[in-house]
Every structure is written in structure tokens, then in C-alpha cells.
Amino acid sequence: MIEQAQRILKKYYGYSEFRKGQDEIIENILKGNDTFCIMPTGGGKSICYQIPALMMDGITIVISPLISLMKDQVDALHSLGIPSTFINSSIPANQVEARINGAFNGIYKIVYIAPERLESLSFSYLLNRLPISMIAIDEAHCVSQWGHDFRPSYLSITTFINQMERRPVVTAFTATATEEVKKDVVKNLSLKAANTYVLGFDRENLHFAVERGVNKLAYVKDYLNTHKSDSGIIYAATRKEVDRLFAHLLKMGFSVGKYHAGLGDTERKSTQDDFLFDNVNVIIATNAFGMGIDKSNVRFVIHYNTPKNMESYYQEAGRAGRDGARAECILLFAAGDLHIQKFLIEQTLLDEARKANEYKKLQIMADYCHTNQCLRKFILSYFGDRDIVSQCNNCSACNDDRELVDISIDAQKIFSCIVRMGERFGINLVANVLKGSNIKKIRQFGFEALSTYGLMKDMTIVEITDLINMLIAEDYLKITEGKFPTVKLKQKAIAVLKGREKIMHKVARKPVEVKTDPGLFDILKALRKNISENSGLPPYVIFHDKTLHEMCKFFPQDKKSMLSISGVGENKFEKYGEAFIDAVKKYVLENNIKTPRQETEIINPKKDKTPTHLITYELYKQSMSIDEMCNERNLKPKTIQDHLVKCFQEGFEIDWDRFIPENTEDLILKAINETGAARLKPIKDILPEEIEYMAIKAVICKHF
């Protein structure tokens, strides 16, 4: 059974191996057991129900919460050659019936439907005509009121299942699994003695980072400058912040779009499409954005503000790197963010108990921003993942090798200034006094007479403000709530002010420049974009970034090696294989690249020894004669000649005229016509003696 699943994985998806857990889950489903699967975003849940769906007799119904996501998934399935369709409110009634009939007649194997559809009796009636083997419930946490995306219509799934004549296998999938949510899923979806698979929450390819006390706008600007061709999402807490940041970045000339609930449907849709199709690189959005986004090549997610809890953070950050390639999740912390979130909690209509619960979760989020321990460990232990190491070496805490700088003196200046101003003013005015600004408000209060006035005049206002923010984040200062927050000293600051304690601070790093290779990857990306425009499919549905990267590593130049690239299945090869092979070939030729062409070397990439005939080709490219190549390589002329012929057969360009002496070509051609091209010796025999084997080989390659 699992062998067949493996074959499907290779044939349709182009992957050679199941990821951790996938095979067990598929096997369990095929045995007819209800199955509950908790796997992180990007872990590969879809395959867990799609492959059994292909192997089972009847139809599989997939319940999926978002319309846009559904279309995306069905598009992706089509590009793999898997017969599927979807039904939701965007489909007119006559189409609905046509699609159901299509499934009835075996045209579709998988039917995606929106949960709301099940609330309609007439629709349930239609659906009941189908031989349903499995109901797969994606984003199953939507059934729980404790989850972050509760959908009342998910509750009608059980009603639907219960009225069915024959109960199908029921499977549920989610990336969220706090204890409450887990219980709700099993109970509310009436999973029968379901086998539960919890596959850990770790996303190894994601690098987590928290940046405290940085100038956020400058940071983002630097980051975008050093990641120019990457797709990314920047989340901000409010619509206003999104608008502001968008305007800034647009003005600076970055390729950005914005998305929040305050924009019209059409605008949101077109922004989303621009992002999916790589027309804009970066989306600046509130948390309204993302549920419907399955884009796999999101290379970074930056949180411009701290989100409301760890669940939201991990889900939003988790939209990076679904393709398994390295991606970055960066959270820019400022104390003010927590006030925004508190404000938002206050605005909700939750009862007091729920509100208290939200505050508790926000505090944990704040702890994440302040922790000095491994960020991954923090996240994983929050989600109750047990087998965790103490250091991941792939987060900003683990990799923090910045120098500790003693900033006690600067901190003392700030503290004493705040005290002298009576702890009654906000960050901005404090910074201006320290800077020694000549503004009305300072004169009005007579602050220019303070001994701290102009004490930090060598720093910019922004630098001073950042420092104050950092001192808030590190708990030396507190900021009051309300419309006009004021800064006050906390207990910890007093010891510093009195010189009893020091404050060490790690200096904020600049984002590291990523070398973008302008070579093959960009060419393949452009080709993908081109195909995308002609086919109307988003680029990542054609091939994932990771697949392109692999092509750049192994330079596949024939069908066999192209099919050995992860993510190239048979259907995709039929559609796009040749185009990509051509692009790779051209690039290899033009750039004189030595490629590990033999299959063994593609299978075993560590061994990247250049094949011997390609070494000869290198010399050929340097315009050496056969004799010179023989000397250089210490090989016989015949071997060198055979190398060149082999290169030629493999598609490398060779200018054969270089080896055909003047005025001999016609003579040789005539001889070949007499004897045939199969053997060389008879040709050589009837030609003048001074004509060498190499010339004959050259004429054959050139003409036959």
C-alpha cells in the first residue's frame, strides 16, 4: 500500500521521500481509521489526505475555510495532474450541480467545499449522491472557540456526517494544538477513536529573530535593500500603521503593496494576486492578510509590531518558507506595541474571563520579546513540544555574538533627565531636552535651564528615542497607559542611577547582506514568471523556489535528471520540463559551467568531481589544439578526441571547423558517402594520408 503511495508521491508531486510522519498518517487513513493530524504550517498536511484520496475508490470531500485558498489548492492540484474541483459561494448554482455531476461521473477525485455549504439542506442532498470515501477537514482548529479562527459553520460538519448513510473516513488537520483546541476538534468533529499524530511544531528552516530598540523604519529599509528580489510580508498592528509604512516604503521606491480590512474587496484581491504572481515583492498588512495565502516562496515575515499572542505570531511568521528553504521571521519590538494590543483587547466585546485570558497571552508574547534564551525553545515549549534542545543555533538569541557595550553613562543621563522633568512627560520631550532642542514646549516649561539639557547633543533624536525604548523594553523605565503616555523610572533604574549597577547592551546589528546570484536562478525565475503570465497560474504553483534552487545546483539538462529534481513530477515535466532544460543548457554553455552531469553525481551531490571529458572541454574553450590538450592532460589524442565527441553528444557546442583543415571537408564528405559513417577506418583508408582521424570525426559530427 505504502509503496503505491510512494509511487504517487514521485509521479505526481515529484518528491522522492515522505516527510516525517506523512507515510504513517497515509497508511493509517488507508486502513480506514479516523485520523487527527497536527503538523506545523508548511509541514505537508495536504499530501496526507490527497494521496489517500487518489488511492481510495470514491470521492474525497475536503472542507477548507477560505475561498481564495481553495481555488489556489485546486489550481495547484491541476498543475500536478490531479483531477479536482471546488464548490463555494463564488460558484453559480448551475455550476455547482455540474461539478457534483462531474464528481459523480468520475471526472473529479477530490472536491473542495466551503463549510458554509453544508448548512444548506439542498446542497447536502446533492452531495449525498456521491460515493464519499473520505471527508478531510483542513484547518480543523476552526471548529474550536478557543482557536484563533473560530468558524461556526465548522460545527455543521458533524451534522452532515451523522446523516450520511455510510460513514466515510473522517480526517482532520491543523497546525494549532493547544490542549483546549485539541479536545474541541475531537469532540466537535465527532472523530471516532481517531488516531492522533502530533508531529512537533518545529520549522527548522525558519530563522527567528527579535530586534529590540531599533529604529524600525530604518531597519525595514535596510532589510528590503539587502533582500531586493525576495518575497516577504510585513505585519503591522493597525490599519493606520499599515498605511503609513506603505506610503514611506513606496516613496523610497520599494516594490510594495498593502492589505487591510479597510480596503475594498477588489483592491484587496488585486493586491493579493500581485503578491501571488510576484508582481510586488512585499505586502504590508494587518493580520487580516494571510489566511488565504499558500504562497510557498515567502522568504521573510517581519512583524513591525508585536502581535497579540504566540499563536498568532507563530501562524503569521509561519507563512514564511513553506517550501522548506531558509526564511527569516523577524519581530521588531517596541514597548508601545504592547499598549496598542492592550487597547485592542479593551475594544473587544469579550467577557472579563476571556479578556483576562488575552492579557495573559499578551504577557507571554512580551516575554518572548525580552527573553535571552533560545527563541525556538521558547516557542516550542509554549506549544508543549517535548523533545526540544536547549539551543537551536538558528535564532537571534543563539546566534547573538554582538559585543556587549556598557551604556550605563547614557542611561544615567536619561534617568536623571526624566527625574528632573518630574516624570510627567513622554519619550519625545525627554529626548528633545537631552538633545538640547530649541522648541516651544521646552521653553514653556523652562527645561532649557536643566543641567541635563543638551547633555546628549551629539546623538540624533532617533538614537536617543531608541535608547529610551530599549530601557523600557529592559524594564528600567515604565510607560504609563492612556492617550498621553509618560515615562517613569522603575526600581531597577535607581541602582544604575546611583552607580551601583551597570547596564550592558548589545548593539543592534545591521541586516546581513544576502548575495543574490544574478545567474541561473534569476533566469529560471524570469522563465517561471513568463509561464505564469501565459498560463494564469501563480509562479510558485509552477515550481517552488526550492525546486529552482535545486536546478541551479544540479544543472539538469535531460529528462532523467530533470525528473530527479525535487518538485518536478511527470505532469510538470510534460508542461514545463523542456523549457527549463533549455534555459539550463543555454546558461551552462554560455557561462562555461562544469556540471556534474552523470546521474550518479546528481544522486550524490557531495561528490562534485568534474567529469574528465568536461575538463577537456574547458581546455577546448581556451582554444587549445588537440596536441596542446594532449600535453596538458597527459592523454592520448584519441582520448581527447573522444572527449570532445562526448561533449558534443551531450549538447555542448563545438566548433568542428577548427579541426577540419582547409579544403578537406568536401573530400572527407565524399569519402563518407562512399563508405558510410559507421566505421572510421574505411574512410581513413581511402583518404590522403595527411588527413587525420580528428578531421574525419569532426566532419561526421558536423554533418551527421
- Give kind and range of the element (H or E) at residue 256: strand 256-259
Q: How many residues does the chain have?
A: 704
Q: Which residues in the 1-60 window bind Mg ion by CB under 5 A?
A: 45
Which lies closer to Mg ion via its Cβ, residue 41 or residue 396? 41
Q: Which residues in the 67-126 window bind Mg ion by CB under 5 A?
A: none
Give the x-and-dash track for 380-409 against Zn ion (CB under 5 A).
------------x--x--x-----------
Question: Nearest CA to 25 among 37, 14, 17?
Answer: 37
Longest dimension (CA), the chain: 111
CA angle, residues 206, 211, 217, in degrees to nearest 5: 105
d(CA 536, CA 542) in angstroms, rounded, equals 10
Check residue 19 for interaction with ligand ADP (CB under 6 A).
yes
Check residue 45 for interaction with ligand ADP (CB under 6 A).
yes
Question: Nearest CA to 230 among 332, 379, 330?
Answer: 330
Which partner from the list Zn ion, Mg ion, ligand ADP, none does 171 bind, CB cut-off 5 to 8 Å by kind?
Answer: none
Question: Nearest CA to 99 among 81, 87, 112?
Answer: 87
Q: Strands 504-506 and 404-406, how do they pair?
A: antiparallel
Give the x-and-dash track for 430-449 against ligand ADP (CB under 6 A).
--------------------
CA angle, residues 517, 523, 527, in degrees to nearest 5: 150
One of 203, 227, 303, 376 touching Zn ion (CB under 5 A):
376
Which lies closer to ligand ADP via its Cβ, residue 294 or residue 466? 294
Which partner from the list Zn ion, ligand ADP, Mg ion, none does 323 bind, CB cut-off 5 to 8 Å by kind?
Answer: ligand ADP
Check residue 231 for interaction with ligand ADP (CB under 6 A).
no
Which partner from the list Zn ion, ligand ADP, Mg ion, none does 398 bind, CB cut-off 5 to 8 Å by kind?
Answer: Zn ion
Which lies closer to ligand ADP via its Cβ, residue 15 or residue 445? 15
**CB 40, min distance to Zn ion, A:** 16
One of 5, 8, 12, 18 touching ligand ADP (CB under 6 A):
18
Which lies closer to Zn ion via its Cβ, residue 254 or residue 333? 333
* Residue 196 dihedral angles phi and psi, to the nearest 5°: -105, 130
Which lies closer to Zn ion via its Cβ, residue 207 or residue 435? 207
d(CA 251, CA 582) in angstroms, rounded, equals 39
Check residue 203 for interaction with Zn ion (CB under 5 A).
no
Which string of DSSP letters, residue by residue, matches 376-437? HHHHHHHTT--S--S--SSBTTTT--PPEEE-HHHHHHHHHHHHHTTT-S-HHHHHHHHHT-
Number of residues lying near Zn ion (CB under 5 A): 5
Check residue 210 for interaction with Zn ion (CB under 5 A).
no
Give the x-and-dash track for 542-561 against ligand ADP (CB under 6 A).
--x-----------------
Which lies closer to ligand ADP via its Cβ, residue 17 or residue 653? 17
Helices (H), ranges, 498-625: 520-535, 539-542, 545-554, 559-563, 570-572, 578-590, 599-603, 612-621
Check residue 329 for interaction with Zn ion (CB under 5 A).
no
Which partner from the list ligand ADP, Zn ion, Mg ion, none does 395 bind, CB cut-off 5 to 8 Å by kind?
Answer: Zn ion
Q: Which residues in the 566-585 window bind ligand ADP by CB under 6 A?
A: 566
**CB 6, min distance to ligand ADP, A:** 10
Check residue 276 for interaction with ligand ADP (CB under 6 A).
no
d(CA 265, CA 665) in angstroms, rounded, equals 70
Dihedral in degrees, nearest 10, Cα atoms 109, 114, 117, 118: 80
Place of cell 520631550: 429
Place of cell 461556526: 152
Which residues contact Zn ion by CB under 5 A? 374, 376, 392, 395, 398
Which residues contact Mg ion by CB under 5 A? 45
Which residues contact ligand ADP by CB under 6 A? 15, 17-19, 22, 39, 41-47, 294, 296, 322-323, 544, 566
